[in-house]
Amino acid sequence: MSRRAFVNPAETIPVPPPAPRRRTRPGRRARVVLPALAALAAVTVGGCAASAPETATPAPRAQAPAAAELTESDVAAWLDGFLPAALENTAIPGATVSVVHDGELLAARGYGWADTGVDGDRTAVDPEETLFRVGSVSKLFTATAVMQLVEAGELELDTPVAEYVDFPVPHAFDTEVTLRHLLTHTPGFEERVAGMIEMDGDAPDLRAHLATDPPEQVYRPGTVPAYSNYGSALAGHVVEQVSGVPFDAYVAEHILDPLDMDSSTFTQPLPEELRDRMAAGYTSTDAEESAPFEVVVAAPAGALTASATDMARFMLAHLGELDGDAALLADDTRALMHAPGLDHETLGTLADGPRMTLGFFEEDRNGHRVLGHGGDTNVFHSHLQLYPDHGTGVFVSVNGGGADDLDSLRLRESLLAGFADRYHPADDTAADSPAGTETAVEHAALAEGTYGSSRSMHSTFLAVLGPLGDQTRIVAREDGTILVTPGPETMTPTVYEEIEPWVWREVDGQRTLTMRVEDDKVTAIGYAGAFALLPVDGVRDGGFALPLVIGSVVLLLGAALSWPVAPLVRRRLALGARDRSGAVARVLTRVGTGLALLALAGWFLALNAVMQFAAVPTALLAVLLAAQWAGVLALVPAGMVVIDDIRRRSGWRRVLASTLVLLGLAGVAAFAGLFGLLSFDLTY
């Protein structure tokens, strides 16, 4: 949830020529010293809205060009033509990239700056020497470790996780959480944020992080894709419990060492021999210093540090191109890991679209199967993709977000899409025809409504993020298409057409939505394998809740601002002193109104801090909670004031004013109750 300063796009960071590419097998490298400091935060991507077309007729596809030959020289030339300009246009400091094909490291390139010079001398990115934090791409290593132990017979995918750990696993349904659920992001946990990141912290205690105040389980396991850092970290803890060694030590011995990934580690803080090779991370384009090293407490979910050439070795292993210990997994185990992890039995029609494998996102580019995983952090943004049917893999990482909040996303999307179009274009160039047009209008009408992300907070005050922007609206259109605002992967309004019953494809695009329907109601919309949109009931719809709270705040602010000047107005107009009857109730109403407004302002500041992954003291949250409850309790004296004004026939102006205050307090109380601001659970 990073917030970056917006700057003039013309104020870009100069990009040096790409670092020379060494034609070596990954793992052979000389040592050079680079300045060190890096930053990592856990992931959330925000969206923005833009205008969308009013028609949804797919444009005829032009004749697809023949695939370019995937050679060392062609890939190097293509990357050199794309990335320097992309970095300059986005003001992202640097990028590292590696491409593998047919068992070889085809290209390893570095672009821009590992250090921009704000902390010292400028240093260019070197694909072998410069280290990047890969964020949630780390989860692929965690899943690989789990599958190694499954292959060895020490773990079973469908055994309850509770049998492998020594603390209670969140449990609210009669279905037990298994490793299969953890690897497919379907354990049903809500999202939690607190304690995920420590700035320049000590080595994290994974067990304490998992066992202390775990998230609530809000979905039945196996039924709702809901991306979960907690679930991935729990899978990593299972690895260390069963293997008997810390997670970072297990990965080093069983994955990194066999692959000769000697520039990679899950250890935090970084070992001394790697610290000076770390790329600096930048939270904004005008940062006066690089971000500090952030220790990811849920280490298996996002703590890996690696070079591009090391990541190439990992890709080759999962493409089945390495032998012996470097293969990591037997062929049948690797095939099991790469296959969808769940089917229609639990997912229903959500299984008709992209699904999670046992660790990888199942993607599709131009009709070719792609396995991949992204990793977005505060300052590092990465993606890895494999084309298993073509023996191809590509990895890219950047060390800044750019001038705009979506710059790093757009850069990676453009690079990966451009790579696919150049080297693995669509085999069928004919325009596709929607398959479900006869029922599309009916299905579109059923889908219309407001939805919230399955990856959300339910039991804490962070539930208020829902109406503040974490909601998606679907509008049915006359031609049977649907307008989704924002598109869950595009972050902009996107039009989808039904190509099979309850399967919708982006018009003139490749992204897919799948709908699960029960009793003629859409109960879930799946996308990207690990995420879903769930219907939002009317009172929690931002279209209702936001006007409610804004209107209520306006009423209370108006009243609060009028109270200090009211006596002056009365004296100036010679209206005489106000009747002292009901004075206590009026004072209590005013105190409650002030506290309710202060509480809302305090929650807003707390939310902003949490979005920056800054710790918010529990004592402060307790004060905000007490103030919010005081605003609720103020409904009693506010009601008494209204009754007293009516009983005493104080005039319609006084009755109206006191009634509006009562309504304002009621609106704020309703909003607070709906979105967790009255919850006594102060964790998040």
Residue 549 structural domain: 541-674
| 406/409 Cα distance (integer angstroms) | 5
* Domain end point (choices 536, 560, 591): 536
Is the pLDDT assigned to residue 650 strictly greater than 50? yes
Same domain? 617 vs 552? yes
Helix (H) or strand (E) holding 397: strand 392-398
Same domain? 514 vs 575? no
Give me the CATH number covering residue 249.
Answer: 3.40.710.10
| 314/678 Cα distance (integer angstroms) | 47
**596 domain-assigned:** yes
Q: pLDDT tens for residues 438-459?
A: 789 999 999 999 999 999 988 8
Is the pLDDT assigned to residue 490 strictly greater than 70? yes
**67 domain-assigned:** no
Q: How many helices (H) and strands (E) does the chain have?
A: 18, 19
Note the pTM of the prediction, 2 decimals.
Answer: 0.86
**681 domain-assigned:** no
Say which residue, 20 or 394, is predicted with more confidence: 394
Same domain? 206 vs 117? yes
* pLDDT score of 302: 95
Q: pLDDT tens for residues 516-568?
A: 999 999 999 999 999 999 999 888 888 898 999 999 999 999 888 887 765 55
| 191/193 Cα distance (integer angstroms) | 7
Q: pLDDT tens for residues 382-412?
A: 999 999 999 999 999 999 999 988 899 999 9
Q: Is the peptide bond before 388 cis (omega within 30 degrees of 0)?
A: no
For residue 272, what are its two tokens? 């001394």
For residue 52, what are its two tokens? 């969308």
**13 domain-assigned:** no
DSSP assignment letter at 525: E
Is the pLDDT assigned to residue 431 strictly greater than 90? no
Same domain? 236 vs 360? yes
**679 domain-assigned:** no
Same domain? 569 vs 525? no
Which candidate in 2, 98, 136, 408 is catalytic? Answer: 136
**591 domain-assigned:** yes
Same domain? 588 vs 450? no
Same domain? 545 vs 519? no
Q: Check: CB of residue 132 under 8 Å from CB of residue 279.
A: yes
Q: pLDDT tens for residues 21-31?
A: 333 333 333 32
The gap from C-alpha 135 to its chain's centroid, in whole angstroms, comes to 11
N-term to C-term CA, the chain: 15
Is the pLDDT assigned to residue 19 strictly greater than 80? no
> What total of structural domains would you count in the chain?
3
Same domain? 479 vs 563? no
Give me the chain's average pLDDT, please.
86
Is the pLDDT assigned to residue 7 strictly greater than 70? no
**145 domain-assigned:** yes
| From 178-187, 279-288, 661-670, the region with the lowest mean pLDDT | 279-288
Q: Check: CB of residue 5 under 8 Å from CB of residue 11.
A: no
The gap from C-alpha 410 to its chain's centroid, in whole angstroms, comes to 15
DSSP track, 666-682: HHHHHHHHHTTTT-S--
Same domain? 267 vs 352? yes
User: pLDDT band at residue 660, thresholds of 50, 70 and 90?
Assistant: very high
263 is catalytic: no
Same domain? 530 vs 549? no
Q: pLDDT tens for residues 466-485?
A: 888 779 999 999 999 999 99
* pLDDT score of 18: 40
Average pLDDT for 72-100: 97
Same domain? 211 vs 345? yes
* pLDDT score of 519: 93
* Domain end point (choices 389, 423, 457): 423
Same domain? 329 vs 283? yes
Average pLDDT for 358-381: 93
**429 domain-assigned:** no
* Domain end point (choices 516, 536, 556): 536
